[in-house]
Amino acid sequence: MKKLIYISLLLVGCTPTLQPTASSNYDEDLSAHRPKYQIESQKKDTVKQDQQAALTNFAPQHDITDTLNAVLDSISILSQEIEYVDGYTVQVYSGNNREMANIARGKSYTVLQESEIKTRLFYDSPNFKVQVGKFFSPLEANATFAQLKRRFPNAILVEAKFKIERE
């Protein structure tokens, strides 16, 4: 019972007391600090005038268009002269037996059946070679090389030059 009395006294003692508020006659003019807005029609007229002035008064000071066009033209001419690009390919067979080369080519197609990587067979005297893919870096060729290495233990990654095919 004593605990109940102590708790009730504690609750009654901790409640805030309400005091009546006095109404004040506060009066201050803050109109000098308020932002001033333009009417929409005045804004549109001002923007149009600014745009017209910018268009008529615009004169580039450091124009490099002619220099840039000359550099781009020379780059285009030089790039047309390049016929080959350095790259990498996976060689799965190299030997003097044409039938074994054809078999290796067929196996490489079955290993890479879902990809669009092309396999090529060519004769580099005195050997037939089967090479798979055209890659720009060894890192790019690594996934294909790993797939082919399981089926062709003698597969190697070789450097190659590829002809650039232009439209």
Q: How confident is the model at residue 12, as a pLDDT? A: 65
For 84-163, the fitting CATH number among 3.40.630.30, 3.30.70.1070, 1.10.357.10, 1.10.287.70 is 3.30.70.1070
Contact 136, 88 (CB under 8 A): yes
Q: pLDDT tens digits for 82-125?
A: 899 999 999 999 999 999 999 999 999 888 887 788 899 999 88
Contact 130, 121 (CB under 8 A): yes
Mean pLDDT, the chain, integer? 83
The whole-model pTM stands at 0.54
Please measure the distance between the N-terminal and C-terminal CA atoms of the chain and give it in whole angstroms. Answer: 100
**Domain range list for the chain:** 84-163
